[in-house]
Structure formats: C-alpha cells, structure tokens
Chain A
C-alpha cells in the first residue's frame, strides 16, 4: 500500500496550514487541550496520533472554526480564527469532516441528494453541482448508487460520501477527524487512494487528519503525537521512529508515552494451542438471515473447536454482527442450523446462556450504574452463589485494572476502560465460551494489547473458546484461525498463515484485500478510477464570491428543501403532524362537553299525591334528566348516591300536597352528588329553573291566571351560540391549541435532531448563517401547520357543523401569523435544548400553561388578572384565541381584530430574531 501514497518531502511543503499558540480548552472540569502550541505545515498530509480522548478532535474543530476558542490564538489559512469575518471567508475554503461514520449525512436522503444539498450551501448553480457531483461519485466509485439512501450505505461508503461532501467546493484545507475508524481494510485503502488522487490533482491543498491507525500514520508527511491534551512529539514518521529507536510507529508511540502509561504495556505472548478432543464448541450449518429482501447472512457454515481463538474479518455490514447475534439467540435464524456447546440454539434456553459470555459492538452496559454495580448486577443475574459474588467482583476489578474506577459511572471513563468493563462482565460468570463483537474498536494500542493478553490467557489456560470479530490485522494474526466474510458469505477460513500463503501475499492484509477484490470485482473498478485522475480540474468556482454574503436566499432554500424531503420520508412524523390534531380535535369535540345532560336521578316520593307527581313530572320532560327506578326508603338515598348510580335525588316529604294547598310552604329536599362540582353546580341551576316553572304552573292552575311566582321576566340571551352547545366554543379553541403545540414541537425537534445526529456540523462548517438555517428549517413546518389547519377547518365545517361566520381572510391571515409565531417559538426552544426528548418536554411544559389556562380557553381573558393575565398576553395563544373565536362564532373581521394580528406578527419577528441571535454558529 505504501506505493499508493508516495511520501512527499517536507521541503515541498512551503508555508503554514494552521497554527495554534498557547491554546487551552476545557469541557467543564476536564481539560481537552492544555496550553498547546503547534504549527501544522501546508501543502502536505499532516496527521494527529494518540489514544482516545487526548484532545485530537478538539484541536481539529478549533482549526476548522466550528468550535469557539477559549484561550490562546488559532490561525488557519493565514488569518485569525477568532475573527468572524475571517471565519466567514474560510467556510468556503476549509472542509471539515467530523468523527463518526457519516455523522454529517442525512440518512433518509440519497447519495445524490446529500451532495446536492451541500453544493447548494456553497451557492453552486445547478449545472455546476451536477458536474461536480458526477465527478466526485465517479472518482469514489459511488456512481452506481446515486439514489441509495445514505443510511443504507456501508460504513466505508458513508465515509466516502462524507468526503465527497467535504470536497465539493475544492477546499484549500481539508480536515478529517478519524475518517477510517471502524472501516474495513479494503474501504480504508480505497479511501486513502482517493485522497491521494485528489492531492495529485490539487497539490496546493493541505490535509490534516486524526487517526487511531498507526499503519496509516506511517504514510503521512508529518505527524504530531498527542497525549493528555498536550503535544508530546512532532516530525516525520521516520524522525519519530529514529528518535525512539522503534521498528514501527506503534512502538514509537508507546515509547513516547509518559513512564506510567508505558509500563502497563508489554507485548502479547501467544503460547501454542494444544488441540482438545471433544465436540466442537460452535458449529454452524447453512446459517441464513434475511431482513425482507435483503440477505444479511447467506448460508454460512463453520466449526470452532473448544479453546480456539477464532477471528471473524470482513467489510462493514457484511453480516459478522448478525451471525454473532444468531449464535447468541438474539436473532432467530431464517434458515440453517447452529449449535453451541453441543446444544442446538434456542432463544428460550436459559442453561446455554449461563455458559456463554457475549459482548456487543457498542457499549451495552448500564451507564447510570457504577462499574461495581454493573458487575454486581451481573453476578446476581448469572446466579453466582451468594458468598462467591463479592470476591469474584473484586477479582474482576483487579484483573481488568478497574479498581480505581470502581465507583465511577462508565460514561465518565475512556473508551478503553469501558471496553475492559464489558469484557469483565462477559467473563464474570466463568463462561466456557466468549462471543465478542469488535471488542477493541476505538481502543488505543496499549489498552488493546492488555486486552489480548487476557484473552490469550483464558484460551490457553482455561480452555475458553473465543469467537471475535475485528478490523485490526495485527489482531487477526493472533487468532488460531480466521474467517473472511463478505456480503453475507464466508470467502475463506483457515489459519492466518495459510490464508496469506494461499494468495501468495506479503501480508494478511494484502491477502484479505485480494479476497475482497475478487469477491466484489472492485479491482477492475479502481483501475478505471485512475484514468479519471488525469481529468483537468473542474472550472473555477463561481460560487465563492457570493457565499460570503450575509443573507442568501439560495442557502435558506437549500435547508427548506432538504427538511421537506426528510419529513416526506419520515411518515411517522408526518402522520403525527397531520393525524394527531385530527384525532385530538375529534376527541375534544365529542368528549369535552360542558353540556350537562342525562343526569341520572331518582325520587323518594313519600307523599304520593297529585301535587307531588306533578312536581316529578316536570323533571321527566327535561333532556337534562333521566329517571332511574324510584327510591323506596330514605336510607337508599345515601347508598345509591355513593355507588354513583344517582347524581341527584329528590325527596318529597309526606304531606307535601296538603301543605302546598294550604300555603304552608312545604320543604322539598334535593340531594346532589358533589363529587364533580361542575356537574353539581349545573344541576343545581337546572333544578331551580324547573322548580320555578313548576310553581308558575301551579299558580296558573290554582288561580286560573298566568301570573308567575316572579313579578318580572328575565330573558337570557346566549350570544354567538344561541343553542349554547359546547362544540361551538370548543372547535375554535382546539384549533388555537393544536396550531401552537404541535408546530412548535415539530420545529423544535427538527432543529435539535440535527444536534443529536451530528448533521448540525454542516451548519457550523459551511457559509450558511443562523438566520438562513433557522428560517429554512422553519418553512416546511409552517406549511405543515397550514395544511393541518385546513384539515381542522374541514372537520369543523363538515363534521361538527361549526361555520366561519366572520371574515375568512382575517382568519387565514391570523393563522399564518400565528403559525409563524408558534414555529418561531419552537426555534427558540431548540436553541437551548440538547435532546429531542428535552425539546418535546420543554415545549409541552412551557407552552401548555399559557395556552390552556391563560389563553381564554377555560377562563375568559377578561376574568384574569395579575400574573395570569400577563402570562396569557406574553404568549401568542391568547391573541389568536380572539381571532379564532371572533371569526368562527362572533362574525368579526379585521376592523375588530387587527390588534391581535399585529401582536402575532410581533411575536413571530421577536421569536425568530431571538433564536437567530442565540444560536451560535460555533460550538462552545
């Protein structure tokens, strides 16, 4: 591979790509960079090497201008990165590819769409984008799948796509943060070939890379070794090796480490394996796994002997993890047979589980429990005898060097320690077999060797069978046998030596790549690529001049467009946005009713006269009451009310009729169930109304005149809603509620999502401004909210029969302004929340109280005073409530409502403006 990347002499590298002076950076209490001063040469490939968590990423992010400088001075491309003006110019000249497999990609967008979006951010015209994307895809070998969603690409392809995104604007400085971590050897090699070709074409471009692979670092022109936030050495790889008298860079790095860390390290010694008789530990026959049409594992067969260390190698997504999961019983196989320790695999078989230890690819222990608690929990669940539990946990802590960290949470530990904890948990119950899925991915060389020594001890001394997968070739060489996997199939399985010899290759890596190339037909492909190298550089960019401008509609549109495509492909979100309000509207419309009807009542008539029956008849005619069987004795009143059978009981005493006729004013008892006060209150009103009309009847009957008991008439006019049905008031209010809660929530989640998935990096490293970013993201949600309004309007007109009596134009204008304000509110929320769950909760908690309690929904605004009134007025909901109720039921228009429109417009502007000011382009 060395011939691919010709080392350039440093002398060629004139000038400085970036420099740091006395730069320190902290995250809370921990120091990421500790007074670092360094000068990185331009026009060459500069590498940062060092274990995880020593500050490599922070250093790169500072140079790229995506992180705010805390102390010290950072210069890149001959300018001060502290100056916003210089940064704005730099966005078009620097390309930054963050850590993590395709973290800045949009998984539901296709390969082409991802690149097209980034091209738009740099202000490239359609023809230019098309030409550049075509060129990049051809040279990365991604051209056969421009329409594949980025989420469905393998890790190596994702990294290539990310790189295309970084290169689309011909940067002068390319910053790559661990671009090949977790990528298989073939993809890794293709990746570096690609970088080499691009550098051959544009020799003035500087590249700065952080990497965990020492073999890769060998090929860089210049290196800086880092440890604990400091630079411990700089120079060419040859210089570093010469200075430490080391054979290779890995060794050189270990010698550069400070004394205590170095001492922990010793070379891995592997004694010969003595073959053991007996049945195979693992046997798989034609194991197959299908996910829909996709065949993840295709008739895989292998045998692993007891006590063997068996390695699984293969490109990303080739089915290694899936095979392992089938063996543990986590995934039921679609076809084929496998047995573990002589037992056929059965997900329900608890006994086999006790004999196997499994470690998944990503950290899968409890982050919220301490190291010790995690071990204790597993000891108990694996049913270790009570007295052995304590000593075994202590033994594990010691053996894996975890005793210092026993009481800290795994979250706060470096990756290498976490992996050791996972291994400790996997071996805690002394299993006869270990299934380990990429146990050393992301672990630095020193920790990796310690880890291996322990595995070797287990295999050789305790006869534990070990089945593991890895991307590291030096680890593969330590296995007794390895199996090469590609696209769900096993290509070859043998000892590392035999495999290398079979391909007549110099190394296992070369043999592996040869196998993979044969299997995928990539070899021919990369030859074709080399011809492209000769192509002239694409036309000079027309985009650079405008991309530094303050506000650009094209960039805003790029975000709006991309967000819309993403929403369109996430049906669950879209369904929630549109169906949620409909369901809730129907629920509220039918369910929330302040109309009290059909109150269950019964009478205890101890009089049984014409008069008493007439009184009870007046109840019967009313739709408000529904009669239940009579009460026969007084004690039943209490009981039937208590059981909830009755809401109201009427007690007429004996002698009622007589007393009434004699003007002796008899007493009638009414018992109400006060458990629900609103209902009881309303019932009381009904009863007094009934009693009055009854008395009027009585008087009329007796005197023959029409004089009623009351000497005046009281006319009650229910304005705006003559029938006084709840639905007329509920429908406009539900529209008010739905158009604030859901658009705000969706918008907030939409922005925070980018923070969580990492695609916010595109905002930080391209010329797009906060305002363009926010408004661009807001537009699709405004459109969704408007569509949602139209569905609610249709429901209100056709299902509930609630018409718009006032000005439709005033209503629509109000809705548009209101939705702009509520989505703007979502943007404000998104600026201070970090997780999507947080965004949902914060929106609900903050918006719910003013929207439900102080908007006029439950209590008229005119009854509010003090804080309640203020809270109501300080939120858009109360203002829109006036417009909604006014236009739906009160027949109003702009003439009466304009002040509300004005207020909503002010809210919209203030919210969006505030969000744009608060959302910083750089990360803290």
Chain B
C-alpha cells in the first residue's frame, strides 16, 4: 500500500513537470483563468446596456420631451428622433433595438383623461435586451407620465407600495454571476482537456506503454494524473477566485471557501476522470479535441451556469442530472452566492461523487485495452 502511494506520488510529480514543460498549456490555463474570466465578466453582459432607442415624437409636447430626456445611459443610448415612416426600415437594418412612438395630441389627451396610448416597438431578435429593455422603457414612460399627471392634478398615487429586494446580489450586477460561473466553466474545460491531453500525449509518445511494463498499475497511473492535473487547475481556480473575481471585479463571496474547496476537489475528481474516459475512446489529439468539444459545450451551457435551469424542457433537465457540472453549478451557486452550508448542499456532493466514481470505474475497465488497441 505504501508502495502504491509513493508510485502515485512519483508519477504525479512527473505529471506536474510535464505540465510545466508545455508552455502552450500553461499559457492556456493562465489565459482562461485571468483574462478570459475578466473579459467575459465585464464584456458579455446580459444586462440592458447601451441599448439603442429611437423615438417618433408626433406630439412635440413638454411630456414627450420629458420622456425622451428620461432615456438615459448606461441602460440606453440617447434616443434618436426619427420619422414615423422610417420605423420599419430602421429596425430592419438593426439601427435601433427599441422605437417609441408617441402619438399626436398625446399630452392633451392625457390631461383630458382620454387615456392615450404609447407604442413601444421591440426588436424581439435581440434576445438578451428585448424583454428587460421593454420593461425598463415601460417603467420610464409610466413614471414620466405619472409624475407629470400628479403635478397637473396632485392626485393618483399607486395604492400599494411594492418593495422589491433582491437577496445575495442587491444590485443584480450580472458580472457577479458571470465571473464565478466563468471560473466554474473553466474548471470543467481545463480539467477535461489537461488530463485527457496528458494521457493522449503519453500514448502518442509511447510512454504509457513503457509505464505498463513497469511495476505500476493503471489505477496508479490514473490517480496520479487526477491529483496532479487537478491540483494545477484547483490552484489556478482559487487564485482566479481570489484575485480576479474578488479583488479585481470586487465580487463578494458569501459562503465558506473551505466548503467550496472540498466540493471543488470532488468535482475535479469527476471531470478529470471524464477526461481520461474520453481519452480512452480516441487515439489522437485531434480526435480527442473533436470529441471533447461538443461534450464540454453541452456540459457548460446546460449546467445552469449560462441560462436558468428551469427554462429548459423537463426531459433535458433530467438528462443534465447525469453531468457533474449541473450539480457543481448548483453547489457553487448555493455556497458562493447564498452562503449555504453542508446541510443544504450534501445531495450535490453525493451526486458528484457517484458520477465521478462511475467515470473512473469505466475508464479503468477500458484503460489497458484502449492502450493496446491504439497500436
């Protein structure tokens, strides 16, 4: 037993040296955990920001002027004024995502209590902005109209006061979410690629064949790859969380980092085992890349780290329970944002352990035959 441990240790140290000797991989790890996290968190926002708005002002009253003036940065670019006949063409050419139409005699009709209508045209193909942007514009228009009407009449207040508070992210800043999720997606991608590539490289160079004639078992080889590559990613992920996410992006981390770390270790085990598993199905690096890519895209996009899990069809939600990433995302969200403790997240830990063990078991069964078949 002690012999086995020293084997796993020596092989793992060798694995670390191999990683260090591959500048492309090191660069890739650094790039994805620093620049890519930062760029995606600050760049790819699903918030309504700088949305382009045009206004067709056929009223030319004080009220319509107020509405136009109330459309403000950073949510919207200043509203451009266009003619009624231009609406369709301008939206066809994607010049504006939103066009507000204020009808003639709007202000006069309002004061006369004739309940005029404002039309908001939304380019519904701009998915991320369209829905929420439309709501914002509705609110802006309502508020301007209400305050104008109140000033005119001194009446008409909303009869209830709706107080909306959002927990865990009071300002609903989207980079709080994307930054952490990006780190998680990177853990998935790099664990699979690094471990799988390490095995493929051994096979392409014939070194794994060499290992198999030495007093070393496949379990030793696999465990060594898992701990060494896992350690590299884990350290990179922790640094990324502490430096890029907490320090640079100023995202507060709510829960216990130690608990998160424990979960991350289990998750690492499952995805590095997956990397080995994929590698046993392929014989060369390009094949590995081609097979891993769709798997990784599905694991990342449908894990709940990009769009909400509940909006997926139920069957797809069930299928995604087989992916460890789904459990890790909900585990990480619970701990990092909502400050959950072990009593809440143990089912996820259990699921990840079970899936990881399954991946490991299947890889082990395939290991020796896959090596023999590759020749």
Q: Which A residues are within 8 Å of any B CB, using their own CB?
A: 325, 328-332, 347-348, 350-351, 353-354, 356, 358, 360, 362-369, 373, 377-378, 380-383, 409, 572-573, 576, 580, 583-584, 587-588, 590-600, 638, 641-644, 647, 660, 663, 665-682, 684-685, 687-689, 691, 695, 698-699, 709-722, 724, 726, 728-730, 732, 749, 753, 835-838, 840-841, 845, 849, 852-853, 856, 858-865, 868, 882, 885-886, 889-890, 892, 896
Residues in B with CB closer than 8 Å to A580 are 290, 293-294
- Which single residue of chain B is at the shortest CB-CB distance from A582? B294
- Which single residue of chain B is at the shortest CB-CB distance from A863? B50
Asked whether A363 and B298 contact (CB < 8 A) given A668-B163, A714-B142, A860-B94, the answer is no
Asked whether A353 and B215 contact (CB < 8 A) given A642-B340, A644-B330, the answer is yes
The answer, yes or no, to whether B154 is at the interface (CB within 8 Å) is: no
B160 touches A892 (CB 8 A): no
- Counting chain B CB atoms within 10 Å of each CB, the highest count among A362, A366, A666 belongs to A366
A534 to chain B, nearest CB (A): 44
Residues in B with CB closer than 8 Å to A642 are 334, 338-340, 344
B130 touches A718 (CB 8 A): yes
From A688, A728, A886, contact of B139 by CB (8 A): A688
- Which single residue of chain B is at the shortest CB-CB distance from A358? B213
Q: How far is the CA of A375 from the CA of B337 in the complex (A)?
A: 49
Residues in B with CB closer than 8 Å to A691 are 160, 162
B46 touches A381 (CB 8 A): no
- Which single residue of chain A is at the shortest CB-CB distance from B174? A677
B28 touches A572 (CB 8 A): no
Residues in A with CB closer than 8 Å to B287 are 572
Tally of A-B Cβ pairs under 8 angstroms: 374
B214 touches A681 (CB 8 A): no
Taking A366-B207, A583-B298, A720-B123 as known contacts, 4 extra A-B pairs with beta carbons closer than 8 A to each other, sorted by chain A number, are: A598-B310, A685-B131, A699-B159, A714-B138
Residues in B with CB closer than 8 Å to A591 are 298, 301-302, 307, 312, 316
Q: How far is the CA of A720 from the CA of B312 in the complex (A)?
A: 23
Residues in B with CB closer than 8 Å to A382 are 214-215
B162 touches A868 (CB 8 A): no
B301 touches A674 (CB 8 A): no
Residues in A with CB closer than 8 Å to B333 are 644, 675-676
Q: How far is the CA of A365 from the CA of B24 in the complex (A)?
A: 21
| Binary contact readout B211-244 vs A (1 if CB under 8 angstroms, 0 otherwise) | 1111111000000000000000000000000000
- Which single residue of chain B is at the shortest CB-CB distance from A699? B159
Q: How far is the CA of A672 from the CA of B172 in the complex (A)?
A: 10
Which listed segment binds A: B6-14, B271-279, B355-363? Answer: B6-14
Residues in A with CB closer than 8 Å to B138 are 714, 716
B97 to chain A, nearest CB (A): 5
Residues in A with CB closer than 8 Å to B160 are 660, 665-668, 691, 695
- Which single residue of chain B is at the shortest CB-CB distance from A366? B207
Residues in A with CB closer than 8 Å to B93 are 896
Residues in B with CB closer than 8 Å to A362 are 206
B116 touches A677 (CB 8 A): no
A381 touches B124 (CB 8 A): no
B223 to chain A, nearest CB (A): 14
Asked whether A836 and B166 contact (CB < 8 A) given A709-B158, A717-B122, the answer is no
A584 touches B214 (CB 8 A): no
The answer, yes or no, to whether B83 is at the interface (CB within 8 Å) is: no
Size of the B side of the interface (Cβ < 8 Å), in residues, is 128
- Which single residue of chain B is at the shortest CB-CB distance from A715? B119
B129 touches A860 (CB 8 A): yes
B157 touches A665 (CB 8 A): yes
Q: How far is the CA of A348 from the CA of B215 in the complex (A)?
A: 9
Asked whether A863 and B297 contact (CB < 8 A) given A677-B174, A688-B135, A838-B24, the answer is no
The answer, yes or no, to whether B22 is at the interface (CB within 8 Å) is: yes
B252 to chain A, nearest CB (A): 12
Q: Which B residues are within 8 Å of any A CB, using their own CB?
A: 3, 6-7, 10-11, 14, 17-18, 20-22, 24, 28, 31, 39-40, 43-47, 49-52, 77, 89, 91-97, 110, 113, 115-132, 134-135, 138-139, 141-142, 145-146, 149, 156-170, 172-174, 176-177, 197, 205-207, 209-217, 285-287, 289-291, 293-294, 297-298, 301-302, 306-308, 310-313, 316, 330, 333-334, 337-340, 344, 368, 371-372, 375
Residues in B with CB closer than 8 Å to A358 are 210, 213
- Counting chain A CB atoms within 10 Å of each CB, the highest count among B39, B77, B160 belongs to B160
Q: How far is the CA of A366 from the CA of B201 in the complex (A)?
A: 10
A687 touches B127 (CB 8 A): no
Q: How far is the CA of A462 from the CA of B126 in the complex (A)?
A: 79
From A328, A695, A712, A859, contact of B128 by CB (8 A): A859
B344 touches A360 (CB 8 A): no
- Which single residue of chain A is at the shortest CB-CB distance from B49? A863
- Which single residue of chain A is at the shortest CB-CB distance from B152? A711
B117 touches A711 (CB 8 A): no
- Counting chain A CB atoms within 10 Å of each CB, the highest count among B132, B156, B316, B340 belongs to B132
Residues in A with CB closer than 8 Å to B157 are 665
A675 touches B131 (CB 8 A): no
A710 touches B310 (CB 8 A): no
A671 touches B52 (CB 8 A): no
Asked whether A592 and B306 contact (CB < 8 A) given A366-B14, A717-B121, the answer is yes
Residues in B with CB closer than 8 Å to A368 are 17-18, 20-22
Q: How far is the CA of A909 from the CA of B32 in the complex (A)?
A: 33
Asked whether A719 and B123 contact (CB < 8 A) given A381-B7, A670-B162, A676-B308, the answer is yes
Q: How far is the CA of A280 from the CA of B373 in the complex (A)?
A: 30
From A356, A641, A674, A711, contact of B145 by CB (8 A): A711
B312 to chain A, nearest CB (A): 5
Residues in B with CB closer than 8 Å to A892 are 92
- Which single residue of chain A is at the shortest CB-CB distance from B343? A643
Q: How far is the CA of A368 from the CA of B15 in the complex (A)?
A: 10
Q: How far is the CA of A377 from the CA of B214 in the complex (A)?
A: 11
Residues in A with CB closer than 8 Å to B302 are 587, 591
Asked whether A720 and B129 contact (CB < 8 A) given A668-B163, A863-B49, the answer is no
Asked whether A354 and B159 contact (CB < 8 A) given A587-B298, A863-B49, the answer is no
From B118, B156, B334, contact of A644 by CB (8 A): B334
A364 touches B209 (CB 8 A): yes
A890 touches B92 (CB 8 A): yes
B373 to chain A, nearest CB (A): 9
Q: How far is the CA of A681 from the CA of B166 in the complex (A)?
A: 9
A680 touches B172 (CB 8 A): yes
Name 5 A/B residue pairs within 8 A (Cβ), A-sorted: A669-B163, A675-B337, A688-B139, A729-B126, A859-B129
B149 to chain A, nearest CB (A): 5
Q: How far is the CA of A858 from the CA of B45 in the complex (A)?
A: 8
Q: How far is the CA of A610 from the CA of B131 in the complex (A)?
A: 32
A124 to chain B, nearest CB (A): 33
Asked whether A713 and B173 contact (CB < 8 A) given A749-B286, A837-B289, A852-B44, the answer is no
Residues in A with CB closer than 8 Å to B316 are 590-591
Residues in B with CB closer than 8 Å to A713 are 115-118
From B129, B159, B164, B368, contact of A663 by CB (8 A): B159
- Counting chain A CB atoms within 10 Å of each CB, the highest count among B135, B139, B344 belongs to B135
Q: How far is the CA of A753 from the CA of B294 in the complex (A)?
A: 21
- Counting chain A CB atoms within 10 Å of each CB, the highest count among B46, B118, B286, B372 belongs to B286
A590 touches B372 (CB 8 A): no
B323 to chain A, nearest CB (A): 12
A464 to chain B, nearest CB (A): 16
Residues in B with CB closer than 8 Å to A885 are 125
B102 to chain A, nearest CB (A): 10
B68 to chain A, nearest CB (A): 16
From A573, A709, A722, A890, contact of B290 by CB (8 A): A573
Residues in A with CB closer than 8 Å to B159 are 660, 663, 665, 695, 698-699, 709
B117 touches A729 (CB 8 A): no
B118 touches A682 (CB 8 A): no
Residues in A with CB closer than 8 Å to B313 are 590
Residues in B with CB closer than 8 Å to A643 are 334, 338, 340, 344
Residues in A with CB closer than 8 Å to B216 are 381
Q: How far is the CA of A589 from the CA of B94 in the complex (A)?
A: 23
